[in-house]
Amino acid sequence: MTNLSVNINKVATIRNARGGNMPDIVKVALDCETYGAQGITVHPRPDERHIRYADVYTLKPLIKTEFNIEGYPCEQFVDLVLKVRPTQVTLVPDAPDAITSNAGWDVQAHFDQLNELTDQFKGYGIRTSLFVGTDPEQIKWAAKTGTDRVELYTEPYASQYTINREEAVKPFVEAAQLAKSLGLGVNGGHDLNLENLAWLSEHIPWLDEVSIGHALICDALYYGLEKTIDLYKQQLNKK
């Protein structure tokens, strides 16, 4: 079964727009778990424009499902992860001023850094995942770092889905097959939604986890959070 990890960054963005604690991200995270989400994802950035570093420390002892912290491995981020010790850390190559993640790692070019980080995190019992595209060579280099999983950057799939869904999913199936053959777990994330999620899930039934934030929170404005989580889980079970 593919786990659904809800990224609550957008909830924090709404909170930060007015100050105070509305909406309460702790309550939202715990409600997501109650409604069936199998994980909670946060992506703290240096400017703390959504999730704050303090939020991560607050959430850690309260999360009962899997806690996934993703982000660029700057010194502050690495220190946070080692102190919090989440279930999983997902390393993403986004610049500090990036609006959102927009590419996977060039693992070969950053091999020494990623290899060292993977060893360090795994030494603390933290499952490690690298955010990558579908280039076979990059997946092969990812396996050499010793990472536990890769997270496939699915924006290209989502962009192509409405044009030709068969062609859209093909490179992701091939990448996921390669990762599996190399002993890697496979996650997916970015621009997945109620329209395109089931097709991806049907074609990669061994997908371990999807991390979804923006679309899910937008859908929750219409359907409510509990119903939305149920709808996303239904898409993941159409195999």
| Residue 140: other Cβ atoms inside 10 A | 14
Q: What is the rounded CA–CA span in Å between residue 159 and residue 33?
A: 29
Rounded CA-CA distance 149/184 in Å is: 5
**Which residues on adjacent β-strands are paired with residue 188?**
152, 210
Catalytic pick from 66, 70, 151, 209? Answer: 70
Structure tokens at 101: 């993640």
DSSP state of 2: P
110 labelled catalytic:
no
Residue 43: active-site member: yes
Give the number of other Cβ atoms within 10 Å of residue 86's Cβ. 25
Of 44, 38, 4, give the one whose Cα is nearest residue 25: 44
Residue 70 designated active-site: yes
Among 33, 43, 50, 209, the one annotated catalytic: 43
Sequence-ordered list of residues with C-beta below 8 angstroms from that of 79, at least 6 positions apart, any chain: none
Strands (E), 9-91: 39-42, 66-71, 88-91
Active-site residue, from 33, 50, 190, 209:
190
Residue recorded with tokens 């997916």: 188
Helix axes 225-236, 214-223, angle to 10 degrees: 120
Q: Which amino acids are annotated catalytic?
A: 43, 70, 190
